Structure 1
């Protein structure tokens, strides 16, 4: 009986992993098309995320962008230089958030930033393999009236990255069941 239960658990885990790996989210469309939102939010940590957020901002699909989880050592001028952002754009339209150190922290930082501005729609830009967990954590802390548009930055993740992120996703979903 125990073998059957363990076998069933392994089969469910394997099916879930295959689903996770083959159904990675995609960008909304080239050029950042899609519905306009109040803001764009980009958790740091993966290649192409910030560039994708800047592309969407430049296309005019939102007027403000938060980059969450920025290293406290990074100053706005350094960020602007690294990503070729005019200082005028930095001053008017981009907020660097320094409070988060992980995905759950990103969600909290993003939720606080959105609430301060009374925004009710946001475009979440993150790496394709990270989207499930990032969007889930964000949904967990945002009020129901805030719409999240998922806009994945495509990547070429390794098997190791996919396995690690799948396990983090499972752990975060289990954690949502526990009281905070």
Structure 2
């Protein structure tokens, strides 16, 4: 029995590592755009999507509490008009699950029906899983993974976090 579990784990890991989620097929328009902090390239990619008009509003989830909107705008060279009309900085999230909670609240407050989720390719499966669990029923979530070159360590850790999250969900945790 243990050997079957080990084989299943190993095959799952190979699948996880070999077939990472990919960038969204363009053109894709959604009402909202959610970008999770923590990985390089995520925020610049999401800003390009917003500037192209492929979404009306953007939530940056997991922003450090000390970062002010003015500092964010300066760091990422965001025009003032775009910052004022369309970007919300979310300060409540500290991990992937709380990113989902913060994002779901934002979706609900803004009465959005479709969102594009932007995070790194190795992180997308767990982030999308958690967001789908928390988002208002009927919300359409499009995955837009930012390509990366993850190390074996990152893949190993993220695969096991995903498995743990799925087990927790199955037992109702």
Shorter-chain TM range is: over 0.9
Partner of 2:51: 58
Partner of 1:9: 5
Q: After superposition, where does 1:67-86 map in structure 2 within 5 Å?
A: 67-86=60-79
**Partner residue of 1:156 out of 149, 168, 173:** 149
**Partner residue of 2:110 out of 113, 117, 122:** 117
Return the TM-score normalized by structure 1: 0.93
Return the TM-score normalized by structure 2: 0.97
**Partner residue of 1:90 out of 59, 73, 83:** 83
Gaps (5+ residues) in structure 1? none
Q: After superposition, where does 1:101-140 map in structure 2 within 5 Å?
A: 101-140=94-133
Partner of 2:16: 20
The one-character-per-residue Cα deviations of 1:78-133 (angstroms, maximum 9, x if unpaired) are 11111111122111110000000000000000000000111010000000000000
How many positions carry a matched residue from both structures? 173
- Coordinate RMSD, CA, aligned: 1.0
- Indicate yes or no: 2:164 matched with 1:171: yes
Q: Which stretch shows the higher mean deviation, 33-42 or 110-119?
A: 33-42
The one-character-per-residue Cα deviations of 1:13-40 (angstroms, maximum 9, x if unpaired) are 00000000011011125xxx23211100
How far apart are 1:43 and its partner, in Å?
1.0
The one-character-per-residue Cα deviations of 1:147-176 (angstroms, maximum 9, x if unpaired) are 000000010100000001001100111111
CA distance in 2 between partners of 1:49 and 1:172 (Å): 23
Q: Which stretch shows the higher mean deviation, 80-89 or 8-17?
A: 80-89
- Runs of 4+ aligned structure 1 residues displaced above 6 Å come to none
Tell me if structure 2 keeps the 8 A contact 1:140–1:176: no
